[in-house]
Structure formats: structure tokens, C-alpha cells
Amino acid sequence: MAKRTRRAHEPAGTPALLAVERAGVDHRLHEHATDVHAEGEIGPESARQLGVSPDRVFKTLVADCGGRLVVAVVPVSHHLDLKALARAMGAKKAQMADPAVAERSSGYVVGGISPLGQRTTLPTVVDDSALDHETIFVSAGKRSLKLEIAPADLVELCAAVVAPIRT
């Protein structure tokens, strides 16, 4: 995969894009149309527009594990298993964080939260299915931007735990 560099006419990158560029990680940036008023989840539509399996497109969710915010990265084709996330974090239970809390913590808007370049660095758990693919797609910090990256690079950049956290 060729390293993506910003052209002079392009706007400055998001914090997620800046994080991968600073780390020197190979990646590709993909832009697609997003209807922010569409019914349902954005992820499956992103996969369709990108022409890739929904198993390769991952959503970033923020959960509360025993009073501690945690980032969970799961394929858009699945749901987050909150019990499995709690186990992976050594907590008794987990619940989805309030969207406003997730936005304040991450610095991104819901639907465009990236696991990279977050305002507050949080513990991160990446679903183990990510390792089944040469590259995966995660939000680049905007609803219409996806970052294609090797899962091992994502895990390293996030200092993430890898665990089965999807249902």
C-alpha cells in the first residue's frame, strides 16, 4: 500500500490523519458521500460506496466500562458485545457512553469518531476479526473519510488490546 500524502490544494488533515502521518504508517485515505440524515447506520453504506466487504469497515464506539471510558473498534457488519468488552477491560459491566460525552472526549462527532488522534487518549479494544484482513477501514475523523490501514498498525498506534468483542 502506498503512503498517502496530502496535495497542496487539499485541506489540512484531521487529527487521525495527522497521527498516522506523524507515525510514518502506510495508509490510504478514501472519501465517499455520506447522507447524515439517512436512516440506519452509516457504516454499511460506507462499505457499499467503498466497494468493500462490511467486514473490513470498522466503526469506533465509546463505552463506559465501570466508570472508565473505553474505545471499541468493531466491524460495521456486527454489533458491540458489551459483556465481552467489559471482560476484555477487566470490568464488571459496560454500557455505551452518552454521545455528548463521546464527542467531548474524542474531539470528533458521532458517526465520524476515529480511534486515532482522539483529544483524550483512552484504552482501546480492537475486535480480533480485524487481524483476518490485510487492511481495514476506520474513520479518519469525518463521516465522509475512511482511513485504510493495516490492522497491526492500528493496534500499535492505539496501544490496543485485541479481543473478540463483536456479536
pLDDT of residue 4: 44
pLDDT of residue 39: 52
pLDDT of residue 12: 53
User: What is the C-alpha separation between 100 and 143, in angstroms, rounded?
Assistant: 16
Mean pLDDT to the nearest integer, 45-56 = 92
8 A C-beta contact, residue 59 and residue 66: no
Across the chain, what does the average pLDDT equal?
A: 90
Residue ranges covered by each domain of the chain: 15-163
pLDDT of residue 34: 66
- What is the topology classification, in CATH, of domain 15-163? YbaK protein (3.90.960)
pLDDT in tens, 71-83: 999 999 999 999 9
CA distances (Å), 97 to each of 62, 69, 70, 136, in order? 6, 7, 9, 24
User: What is the C-alpha separation between 31 and 62, in angstroms, rounded?
Assistant: 23
DSSP state at residue 56: G
26-40, 41-55, 91-105, 136-150: the lowest-pLDDT one: 26-40
Query: Do β-strands 58-65 and 161-163 pair in parallel, antiparallel, or remain unpaired?
Result: unpaired
Whole-structure pTM over 0.85, yes or no?
A: yes
Share of the chain above pLDDT 70, in %: 88
Q: 35 or 95, which is more confident?
A: 95
pLDDT of residue 53: 96
pLDDT of residue 83: 98
Half-sphere exposure of 96 (CA within 13 A, CB side): 11
pLDDT in tens, 13-43: 899 999 999 999 999 999 988 655 455 567 7
